[in-house]
Amino acid sequence: MKFRKADALFILFAVAVVAGVSMLPTPKDRNPPVPTNATHLEIRAEQACIYCHAPTGSTPLPERHPKRQDCFRCHAR
């Protein structure tokens, strides 16, 4: 099997695509981090976030916020 110029170009293109995708921002890069005040420093589990950020809590989430239970996936600590 011979290594052709087209093969080298394909490999170069594939490496460029993989490198480009790896440089895309993650949700943690775009979202605000968990605040560093005393209330938030005590939180160890994501279920504790729901007490204040539920629709009836003291600080409800905005309407456009996704209805998810894994807060630390997007919000860095």
- Return the residue matching tokens 């093969």: 7
CB 52 within 8 A of CB 58: yes
pTM of the model: 0.56
pLDDT value of position 1 = 75
pLDDT value of position 30 = 80
pLDDT, one tens digit per residue, over 6-63 is: 999 999 999 999 999 999 887 667 888 889 999 898 888 888 898 899 889 999 999 8
